[in-house]
Amino acid sequence: MFSEPPTPGPPAPDTPPDSSRIDHSPVPPWALAAIVLVSGLLVFGCCFCVYRKRCRRRLGKKSQAQAQVHLQEVKELGRSYIDKVQPEVEELEPAPSGPGSQVAEKHELGRLQYSLDYDFQSGQLLVGILQAEGLAALDLGGSSDPYVRVYLLPDKRRRHETKVHRQTLNPHFGENFAFKQEKLGDICFSLRYVPTAGKLTVIVLEAKNLKKMDVGGLSDPYVKVHLLQGGKKVRKKKTTIKKNTLNPYYNEAFSFEVPCDQVQKVQVELTVLDYDKLGKNEAIGRVAVGAAAGGAGLRHWADMLANPRRPIAQWHSLRPPDRVRPLPAP
């Protein structure tokens, strides 16, 4: 008899996986390289931002220090003072009108380098136009024909222009322009105030070295005297006309009623004009004196008040008419 094969028992249950074991698969080399690269870029970006911020602070302090000019220090240097006012390149700003204002909305306009030299003894300002770079292209071909126009404000009639440089965005000019102090002449007049009578007397004595206004090299000068109160002209006088001369002699007196309590609130303005028989009389120069004036005008007024009843005469240099504004009431 054959023995029966053993009966197979029930299948053993599957052994559950051990949760304490973790499958540590190796990290690919490209992932490690990417992590290192990103970390390096972040560190470099942070360092660059910090460095750039510090550089901007230093540049701002440097530009502020260069922008401040003390005239007292300048005068101690000697006759002239070069390049401290503007030694670096300056960013161009869009003009109020023209093609540059449209280009400025999308692109930078460029930079201009210039120099300033002022001679205190001769009263001459020398402006040097050195070069420009990175100018905006205003022509269809992607270039420009740049030149520089220089004004001495507020008088826009006094201007200079450089030569035109064709088809370039980085022109080198190397040109200098001089603005000399305009000589208009001098006027001598006296002031006399009598407090008890409330009377102010202005005596126009003479003028000299007046600016030539006529074609023949002479002028026909006369003087207008205005009394101002609160910045408004309240009284007006004028001298006779002196024909064909740049050194007229007048010796003409004009009186104004000014109460004692108003003497610090009025000003006197003298204007020298050239008489024109056919056209408009043109102003040569102007002088203002009063308690609100400055310089020689204030000193002359103070001397008059310090010496009542005595005429105080003094020479004054004429200033351009558009630079003498009505003095505000003190």
Instruction: Report the pLDDT averaged over residues 181-208.
Output: 94
Read off the pLDDT of residues 62-96 as tens digits, 9 standing for 90 and up: 554 444 445 445 444 444 444 444 445 566 666 65
How many structural domains comprise the chain?
2
* H-state helical runs in 97-224: 99-103
Q: Average the pLDDT over 24-39 and give the result.
A: 71
Of the three residues 122, 155, 180, the one that is the final residue of a domain is: 180
Same domain for 161 and 197, yes or no, is no
- Residue 2 binned pLDDT confidence (cut-offs 50, 70, 90): very low
Strand 89-91, strand 149-152: pairing: unpaired
Does some domain include residue 157?
yes
Which pLDDT does position 62 carry in this prediction? 52
Tell me if 278 is assigned to some domain: yes
CA–CA dist 265, 330 (Å, integer): 6
Residue 122 has pLDDT above 60, yes or no: yes
Phi and psi at 225, nearest 5°, equal -120, 120
Q: Report whether 225 contacts 278 (CB < 8 A).
A: no
The HSE-up count of residue 264 (CA atoms within 13 Å, CB side) is 3
Residue 300, classed as helix, strand or coil, is helix
Per-residue confidence (pLDDT) for residue 107, from 0 to 100: 61
Q: Can you give the CATH number for the domain in which 253 is found?
A: 2.60.40.150
Mean confidence (pLDDT) of the chain: 80
CA atoms within 13 A on the CB side of 114: 20
Q: Which of 173, 146, 178 minimizes the C-alpha distance to 159?
A: 178
Are both 318 and 190 inside the same structural domain?
A: yes
DSSP states of 234-271 as a string? EEEEE-----S-SS-EEEEEEEEE--GGGGGGEEEEEE
Q: What pTM did the predictor assign? A: 0.54
Looking at the fold, whether 281 and 298 belong to one and the same domain comes out as yes
Range 29-47 average pLDDT: 76
Domain contains 34: no
Instruction: Lowest mean pLDDT of 30-44, 118-132, 200-214, name the range.
Output: 30-44
Per-residue pLDDT, 91 = 62
Q: Judge whether 206 and 251 are in contact, CB under 8 Å.
A: yes
Domain range for residue 99?
Answer: 71-180
76 CB-contact burial (10 Å; exposed 0-12 / middle 13-18 / buried 19+) = exposed
Mean pLDDT of 94-123: 71
Same domain, 175 and 190: no
**281 within a domain of the structure (yes/no):** yes
Q: Measuring CA to CA, which residue among 132, 124, 129, 125 is closest to residue 114?
A: 129
